[in-house]
């Protein structure tokens, strides 16, 4: 993962030092951003406390246990997303976020097509794919999981 930069392959050779400096942190940055971007969505849901709105949307799609799943959405978008960002219980958090985004992709946004500008699944699908990659790799070197010495 941390191979040295092959300066001969670079078009702008002067960037080699920048790439070498920041490359070790790139995975941690990607993992952090994947979780951190979702946290405000969860915080807004938790602060508004409008569980009926979300359970109504879920139940409207014919999904059973809508209220329980709405609370799980609140938890996933706040707690699991924060865990993903800091790399705590990383694989579990990535699975939770990924599964939620998979459901959003196919049950809630598929009908609108690909582009997010038309309520499409583009953004949710990107999250699914990022979470799959994180699930395979785990927390990485710069994660709480790494510092406590356990992968979940």
Closest to 91 (Cα-Cα) out of 150, 43, 40: 150
pLDDT digits (tens, 9 = 90+) for 88-139: 999 999 999 999 999 999 999 999 999 989 999 999 999 999 999 999 999 9
Is the Cβ–Cβ distance between 139 and 86 less than 8 Å? no
Q: What is the mean pLDDT of the chain?
A: 92
pLDDT bin (cut points 50, 70, 90) of residue 3 is confident
Half-sphere exposure of 60 (CA within 13 A, CB side): 7
Q: Look at residue 20 and give its three-state secondary structure.
A: helix
Q: Is the pLDDT reported for residue 78 higher than 90?
A: yes
pLDDT band at 27 (very low <50, low <70, confident <90, very high): very high
Q: What gap in Å lies between CA 59 and CA 93, rounded to an integer?
A: 24
Which range (22-31, 43-52, 73-82, 109-118) has the least confidence?
Answer: 43-52
> Residue 109 burial (CB < 10 Å; 0-12/13-18/19+)?
buried
Contact 140, 27 (CB under 8 A): yes
Structure tokens at 41: 């969505």
> Is this model's pTM higher than 0.85 or not?
yes
Average of per-residue pLDDT across 19-48 = 93
State residue 8's pLDDT score: 85
Query: What DSSP letter does each residue of 129-152 carry, written as one string?
Result: HHHHHHHHH-S-SSSHHHHHT---
| pLDDT, average across residues 40-69 | 91
């Amino acid at each position: 993962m941390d191979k040295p930069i092959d300066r001969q392959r670079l078009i702008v050779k002067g960037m080699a030092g920048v790439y070498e400096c920041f490359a070790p942190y790139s995975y941690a940055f990607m993992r952090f951003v994947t979780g951190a971007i979702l946290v405000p969505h969860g915080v807004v849901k938790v602060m508004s406390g409008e569980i009926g709105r979300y359970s109504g949307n879920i139940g409207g799609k014919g999904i059973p246990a809508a209220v329980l799943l709405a609370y799980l959405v609140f938890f996933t978008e706040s707690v699991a997303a924060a865990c993903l960002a800091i790399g705590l219980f990383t694989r579990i958090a990535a699975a939770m976020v990924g599964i939620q985004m998979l459901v959003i992709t196919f049950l809630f946004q598929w009908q609108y097509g690909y582009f997010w500008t038309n309520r499409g699944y583009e953004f949710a699908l990107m999250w699914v794919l990022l979470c799959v990659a994180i699930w395979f790799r785990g927390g990485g070197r710069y994660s709480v999981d790494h510092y406590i010495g356990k992968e979940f």
